Amino acid sequence: MRMRQQECGSAYNRILFLGAETEGESSVRLLGKKMALVPYDDSALWGTQKLHQSSSVYNFANRTIQIKQDWKQLGVAAVVWDAAVVLCTFLEMGGIDLQGRLVIELGAGTGLLGIVAALLGAHVTITDRKAALALLESNVGANVPTDLRTKAVVKELTWGQDLASFAPGGYDVILGADIVYLEETFGALLQTLDHLCSDQTVILLSCRLRYERDQNFLKMLKGLFAVHEVFYDSNHDVHIFKAQRNVRNRDL
């Protein structure tokens, strides 16, 4: 089974090197350019089977990353969601330059995205709720090599709470994968984004828009930030939105 997942990781990575769309391939859009997406059949891993595996393996940043999962104990925070893999692919494709950037990840779950951001050169604060932190720490420790270890710091952040322990506007990039799904958290999530953002900060959110309420979150986001869709993976139905503070609106 692990072999199968490594193949998935490779298939994602192969997206990088294709320039043309051919018959049978689905397409993604990266910053307005159409790029080919090599199809692969991950149906065997779909659904509960994928969620219940105790680990999953990916290839990013020229490394094999092995992520421990624990769906039974921790639920949604303890499995890797497609949105995280799609955003890792986007980052590896050069969707945004992370070298030396101060990055914070919200709702990191198992930590795959934050780990990849650190391997790509960013200084990352990888955050989630308290209950998720032990597994998160363990995955970061297992996958970020010792010489890069200071680049990946795990910290508790429950949206809307204790925000004073995070520098206001202190990050170049804010990352979030599949964190738009609980309507009751939307206000606190927006408050958190608002606190962490400077006028220069770039927010990248990868989302599967499952319900109408998820669209409502986007409307709320657009009230505070200028929002653009920069990538769509049609195979996995995952959108990536880039948001930046709407300086003009804020000054009104």
Chain residues binding ligand SAM by CB under 6 A are: 76-77, 80-81, 83-84, 107-110, 128-129, 132, 158-159, 177-179, 182, 185, 188
Amino acid at site 69? Q
Compare residues 36 and 218 and give the one whose CB is closer to ligand SAM.
Answer: 218
Q: Residue 75 Cβ, how far from ligand SAM at the closest point, in Å? A: 8
Nearer to ligand SAM, 128 or 172 (CB): 128
Q: State the amino acid at position 20 in one-letter form.
A: A
Q: Considering the complex, state which of residue 36 and residue 61 has its C-beta at the smaller distance from ligand SAM.
A: 61
**Least distance (Å) between residue 108 CB and ligand SAM:** 5
Smallest distance from the beta carbon of 83 to ligand SAM, in angstroms?
5
Q: Own/partner pairs for 165-168, CB < 8 Å, 24+ apart?
A: 166/104, 166/125, 166/195, 166/196, 168/195, 168/196
Q: Report the nearest approach of ligand SAM to the CB of residue 57 (Å).
A: 14
Q: Whole-number minimum distance, CB 204 to ligand SAM, in Å? A: 12
- The structure tokens listed for 223 are 């009230």
- Least CB distance to ligand SAM at residue 37 (A): 19
**Nearer to ligand SAM (CB atom), residue 9 or residue 107:** 107
In the sheet that 152-156 helps form, which strands lie side by side, from edge to edge?
A: 33-37, 26-30, 225-233, 238-245, 202-207, 173-177, 102-106, 123-128, 152-156
Instruction: State which residue, 138 or 185, has the beta carbon closest to ligand SAM.
Output: 185
Nearer to ligand SAM, 30 or 133 (CB): 133
Beta carbon of residue 185, minimum distance to ligand SAM (angstroms, whole number): 4
- Our CB check for ligand SAM shows the closer of 13 and 110 to be 110
Which stretches does DSSP call E strand in the chain? 26-30, 33-37, 55-60, 63-68, 102-106, 123-128, 152-156, 173-177, 202-207, 225-233, 238-245
Long-range CB contact pairs, 50-58, < 8 A, 24+: 50/79, 51/79, 53/1, 53/5, 55/2, 56/5, 56/80, 57/2, 57/5, 57/6, 57/9, 58/5, 58/6, 58/8, 58/9, 58/12, 58/85, 58/88, 58/112
